Amino acid sequence: MRFLKQPTRLLFFTGKGGVGKTSLACATAITLADEGRKVLLVSTDPASNLGQVFGVTIGEHEPTPIPGVTGLFALNINPEAAAQAYRDRIVGPVRDVLPAETVKGMEEQLSGACTTEIAAFDEFTGLLTDGVATGNYDHVIFDTAPTGHTLRLLQLPTAWSNFLETNESGASCLGPLSGLEKQRQQYAHAVAELANADTTTVVLVSRPQKASLAEADRTSHELATLGIVNQHLVINGVMPENGSDDPLANALRGREEAAMSELPKSLAALPTVRVPLQPRNMVGIAALRDLLSDSPESSSLPENAASLGPLSLPTLSELIDVIEADGHGLVMVLGKGGVGKTTVAAAVAVALAARGHAVHLTTTDPAAHLSMTVESSFPNLTVSRIDPQVERDRYRQHVIETKGQNLDEAGRKLLEEDLRSPCTEEIAVFQAFSRIMRESREKFVVVDTAPTGHTLLLLDATGSYHRDVVRHLKPGTQVVTPMMRLQDPSQTKMLIVTLPETTPVSEAESLQNDLRRAGIDPWAWVINSSLAAASPSDPLLVARASEERQHIKRVQEHVARVAIIPWLAHEPVGGERLLELARPKAGTCDSVH
């Protein structure tokens, strides 16, 4: 690995949840420490499991020495705690000064992912610029680097104004930056350090899958635009050639090879390393040492790999049975990137249409056509795509023409920059969804990529339709607003999609908590692409299936209604393949209530 042979002092590992960033960052840290370097490993991941990986409690204020690895120290930056401190710092001084509704709106502005990301960035820029804290380390390795959009936010002039403290026009997630003028020089230095190829390497981590590689390509472009060009690509979890005659293993290998042979040009040009799929979770020093080793010492399969009993979980078909019983309604499919929510949404829509119901499937996924080749041929099904950029531009224009009409030139420029935030796009898309929602009174409407609880509360806190309607109701008047429809499971059923792996399950739990803050309890979870439900015979896949069991059990303990979809030998593309996802598997599942 070139980034290990000639490592820069700073190494950042970035990628979507569940691709193996933490494992690779830990393995890299151990490798460098074993070579006699002094290494600090820092995690900014909200779902960090550094303590579990190393078997020791990791400190959040002082680096913790890692037993068994001389020269390695680890530090956890708790993004949630950092975000809460951030909110207190900004809202605290005005809590007893401004009206309660205004304070509530400010708190909700500061409750989204942007605040958490920037708060974490605030913490680790201190490490980058504090020579006392990191000066005596040969290498500092960060698990979870800042995203391109976080870095872009830091560069917006609006970020360094006080405009948002009094802004009631539109909605934004830039609020936290308005109180950070003191850190401006520190942030500028940190961004410059990231772009310095002599000191910094960014390692893009991906799975050998089309969607994961496309996400890595997007991240690469974002970072390159900001001048961060010293990038390496690690494709993690590649199915090795092992002579297996398991059809599932051969199909998995074929799909991965196809995805890796069609790398986008920008990724293909990067120094690239393929790391083979491991039979176990990366926990413990020995397993991590093996991950990047040319001659692993403990590559044998886990002893419990062959002791798999049958899974007894409902199928997607059984969830659809319950959805169908209402005759119409709204189905919203949520999940983090790469878990297969577009495919699940398409499968639900196709299954309902195949049963004779009128269905409208809509998505904001720019690659949705890959899994929905049923647009013009499948009976009873209408497919549409909401273009996020078009909706964002329409929303911006509306806000500028209405809220911005009485602002002076400087105020309008600040408003225009405020409307460049990621939350603006999410709110604009939700407004487009709201127009389609009305159709669900007479047919099924299936929505891929639903709004987060933060977006819904942000709309409510900044003068949304829901709050205005409720405030102006006459006594005895009854009305159903979009928010009320989302909160009513008889009208809207929200499905959270996850993979049976540590990080995707943690992210799904976080998403569920986010929705519950908005008074919305997800109706069901769908565990997608499960090897445990596919009954593989290849020893490596059997071992992986065994590892999935703990994550499936974790979901069952916290969720009342859950279904599972097995890993399929063929990609679910096209109407017939999508129907396979929703086809009953006789005798293998419990009933859904």
Q: How far apart are CA 224 and CA 230, in angstroms?
A: 9
Sorted by sequence, the CB contacts under 8 Å of residue 55 that are 6+ apart come out as: 67, 283, 284
Q: Across-strand partners of 238?
A: 276
Which residues are within 8 A (CB) of 472 and not within 5 positions of it... i.e. 6 or more apart? none
Which of these, 229, 200, 231, 235, lies nearest to 214 by C-alpha position?
Answer: 235
Other CB atoms within 10 Å distance of the CB of residue 388: 17
The DSSP secondary structure of 536-561, one letter per residue, reads --SHHHHHHHHHHHHHHHHHHHH-SS
For residues 214 and 267, give the distance between their C-alpha atoms in angstroms, rounded to a whole number.
Answer: 9
Q: Cα(447)–Cα(346) distance, rounded to whole angstroms?
A: 9
Estimate the crossing angle of helix 388-402 against helix 422-437, to 10 degrees: 100
Residues paired with 495 in a beta bridge: 333, 524
Compute CA distances 335 → 338, 470, 527, 544, whole Å: 8, 30, 11, 22
Sign of the dihedral through C-alpha 581, 584, 586, 592:
positive
* 237 classed as catalytic: no
Active site residue 182: no
Q: Which of 15, 16, 17, 21 is catalytic?
A: 21
Residues in the chain: 593
Tokens 């293998």: give the residue: 588
In the residue annotation, 335 being an active-site residue is answered as: no
Catalytic: which of 503, 506, 529, 530? 503
Nearest Cα neighbor of 444 from 509, 357, 504, 378 is 357
Burial category of 207 from C-beta neighbours within 10 Å (exposed 0-12, middle 13-18, buried 19 and up): buried
Whether 261 is catalytic is: no
From 14, 15, 16, 18, active-site residue? 18
Distances (CA, A) of 156 to 78, 344, 397, 495: 25, 37, 19, 36
503 given a catalytic annotation: yes
Please state the separation of Cα 497 from the chain's center in Å.
11
User: Which of 16, 17, 23, 340 does the annotation list as catalytic?
Assistant: 23
Catalytic one among 45, 217, 365, 448? 45
Strand order in the sheet with 562-566: 381-385, 359-363, 444-448, 329-334, 492-498, 524-530, 562-566
Catalytic residue list contains 585: no
Count the Cβ atoms, other than its own, within 10 Å of residue 490. Answer: 8
CA separation for the pair 372, 244 (Å, rounded): 32
Q: Is 134 a catalytic residue?
A: no
Q: What is the DSSP letter of 71?
A: T
Say which of 15, 17, 20, 453 is annotated catalytic.
20
Identified catalytic residue from 14, 22, 343, 452: 22
Return the CA Rg of the chain: 25
Q: Catalytic site residues?
A: 18, 20-23, 45, 503
